[in-house]
Chains A and B, each alone.
Chain A
Amino acid sequence: MDRTLLYTEAVREATDQAMEHDPSVIVFGMGVDDPKAILGTTQGLAEKYGPERVFDTPLSEDAMTGVAIGAALAGLRPIHVHIRMDFLMLAMNQLINVAAKNHYMYGGQQHVPLVVRAMIGKSWGQGAQHSQALHSFFMHVPGLKVVAPTTPYDAKGGLIQSIQDDNPVLFIEHRLLHFLKSTVPEDFYRIPTGKARIVTAGKDITLVGISYMQLECFRAQRYLEEVGISAEVIDPIWLSPLDIDTIANSVSKTGRLCVVDNAWLTCGASAEIVAQVTERLQGICRVQVRRLGFVPVTCPPTPTLEELFYPNARTIAAAVYSMVHNRHDWIPNERADLKSADFKGPF
């Protein structure tokens, strides 16, 4: 029988099963054993596995990332949890200069089986330092893997895959995806690294949505149906390694590519995807490209400006319409069934 779980429950179950499966898996981060248990994603783990395997940390992101790496070098498989991705800026030296480097720099003698869970915030005034999506920083550096699952199914399979990987993996969660529910098998399953998923087949445009924007792309696809535009929606799931084959194959069929990133555009994942697809297809077929993402400013907390800061299903649909028809005279009326479910405060 199909069983549905929330994204947070899927993450919790993946962690629990991985810990049961392998005593070298440990979990730490600020708040992992507190009553809120990182939005429930670490609920009950401290009780079940004890304080040596699940523990709260000092507010020392730099050292604790280094500790995670050191523990990984000694054969443990740490999962280091950050309730907001913005805090990773305090951990960059260890992630970039050590985790990403050691296997290559030491000629394959060392490896760092580390998972870093990092959450992206959105809405309800989280503002400048609680809403950043910095996955492209990590995509830039060889030696790191980056996964940003959208569905509870991929969250579970992707987290287990990340934990069992012998290399450092950034596991990126969006706070709004935490409320998503979908079918999640009870098995201890994995999804393949570097494999995208075609979510809906279409013929007029390839629509790639990253992290939470996958959800908005899926909604945009429904709006576009109203005006007879058939969008092929692709969830890359993994940003590094990136499944450019699946995306480029789709674009070679549709002739149009719109990448919607849950981030700024400059030097971002969307720039990378567009560049790789055009490099691949230039001289073979004509390709129209477009990128959407955060407005290139700091995220404002006030709701009127915050609303304008992010793409949404309607602005995505309008952008795609203009690509297909070369006209800018349509934006769908909001449908209740396709409304974004924003975070409701207060905290």
Chain B
Amino acid sequence: MSLPSLARESEKKQQEDADLYARLYRFLYLIRRVEEEIARVYPTDKIKSPVHLSIGQEAISVGVCAALRPDDIVFGTYRGHALYLAKGGDLNRMIAELYGKVTGCAKGKGGSMHLVDVQHGVMGTSAVVGTTIPNAVGYAYALKYRQDDSIVVSFFGDGATEEGVFYESLNFAMLKQLPIIFVCENNRYAIHSFQAARQSNTELVERVRAYGLQAERIEDGNVLEIYTRTNEAVQAIRASQSGPVFLECMTYRWREHVGPDEDFHLGYRRRSELEPWVRNDQVKRLARLAEPDLRLEIERGVESAIQRAFEFAEASPFPDASELYTDLFKES
């Protein structure tokens, strides 16, 4: 390659990196700030829904979803705010849903634990651990059946890997070579119970490899690494060069299991566990990587979007009484 074309290549690469950093930062910052705002408003009791905040865990949803197309599909968990937003879910409708308003993404019938945005491929989240894993697999079956090149990503926590349905789902996905990525957000705690107190073998990737899946662990919550690994898996699956892939992403929940506060006073975990994750905060890291002017623009844009979303939720009406009876069945 000639020197000028090398220079062009390098310039192009720099621009791509800058675009990626900006995109990742926008979502990381958005999610962190939305969650902080929810925590701030929570004591007013205007949010009438139990919230499981994603603070500290944003990098997984953001890194994975950055590698997806708009027509790719995600299924998640009750700790689903980050996933919903990272996949492009509408912020106004999310906050309205938390407020129980009719303008919410599920008209006030889902709540924080059941965010949905079908248009953006957010197919739902479940309060019952592990429950959406086979739904994601079934969706992937339908995509393969229709020869659609979209893929599905199933998000779940470390606790879900103790459910029988997890292994049943891995087996079927592998058996049928389905276009799916399993993403375990391992924050080491199921509510207050430590992973090693629950699992005879905490080497999750080994357990998964036993089913024949390609499985990798990403140790440090590095959003760029999560993005890169996901992107590789996505490309391989889309090109039909790979069956299902499993990614275990280590992470840490900064706040309590449910609710807006910290919970280190309970004594089930030490604050010293949190400290390396705070030092390694991906929101701050990407803030440093983003181009300064663009960073400010992103932050300003996010702050005003959040303000508008809470105003939208406040101003929206509650559902009419007649809504109680609608939506039980789809009328054919």
* Contact between chains at B116 and A64 (CB < 8 Å): no
B135: interface (CB < 8 Å) = yes
Chain A nearest Cβ from B143, distance in angstroms: 7
B296: interface (CB < 8 Å) = no
Which of A94-102, A281-289, A318-326 has 4 or more CB atoms under 8 Å from chain B? A94-102
* Contact between chains at B116 and A75 (CB < 8 Å): no
Name the CB-closest residue of A to B124: A106
Residues of chain A within 8 A (CB-CB) of B26 are: none
Known: A71-B139, A97-B128, A108-B107. A103 touches B328 (CB 8 A): yes
Q: Which interface class (under 10, 10 to 19, 20 to 34, 35 or more) fits A?
A: 35 or more
Known: A62-B164, A106-B116. A70 touches B141 (CB 8 A): yes
Q: Which interface class (under 10, 10 to 19, 20 to 34, 35 or more) fits B?
A: 35 or more
Query: How far apart are the CA atoms of A76 and B135 in the complex, in Å?
Result: 13
* Contact between chains at A69 and B330 (CB < 8 Å): no
Task: Give the contacts of A103-156 with B (CB-CB under 8 A).
Answer: 103-111, 142-143, 145
Query: How far apart are the CA atoms of A165 and B329 in the complex, in Å?
Result: 10
Interface string of A45-78 (1 = CB under 8 A from B): 0000000110001101011111111111111101
* Contact between chains at B138 and A71 (CB < 8 Å): yes
* Contact between chains at A62 and B329 (CB < 8 Å): no
Chain A nearest Cβ from B271, distance in angstroms: 36
* Contact between chains at B110 and A107 (CB < 8 Å): yes
Known: A58-B172, A109-B106. A74 touches B138 (CB 8 A): yes
A26: interface (CB < 8 Å) = yes
Residues of chain B within 8 A (CB-CB) of A93 are: 128, 131, 165
* Contact between chains at B145 and A26 (CB < 8 Å): yes
* Contact between chains at A106 and B110 (CB < 8 Å): yes
Query: How far apart are the CA atoms of A110 and B110 in the complex, in Å?
Result: 12
* Contact between chains at B172 and A60 (CB < 8 Å): yes
* Contact between chains at A66 and B134 (CB < 8 Å): yes
Known: A58-B168, A107-B109, A111-B330. A72 touches B131 (CB 8 A): no
Residues of chain A within 8 A (CB-CB) of B165 are: 60, 62-63, 66, 93
B140: interface (CB < 8 Å) = yes
Q: Which of B116, B128, B141, B332 contacts A71 (CB 8 A)?
A: B141
* Contact between chains at B135 and A73 (CB < 8 Å): yes
A243: interface (CB < 8 Å) = no
Task: Give the contacts of B312-326 with A (CB-CB under 8 A).
Answer: 326
B224: interface (CB < 8 Å) = no
Chain A to chain B: the 6 pairs with minimum beta-carbon distance, closest first:
A70-B138, A66-B134, A63-B168, A74-B142, A60-B168, A107-B107
Some 8 contacts from A to B, beta carbons below 8 A apart, are A26-B145, A67-B138, A70-B141, A93-B131, A98-B131, A106-B106, A145-B329, A165-B332
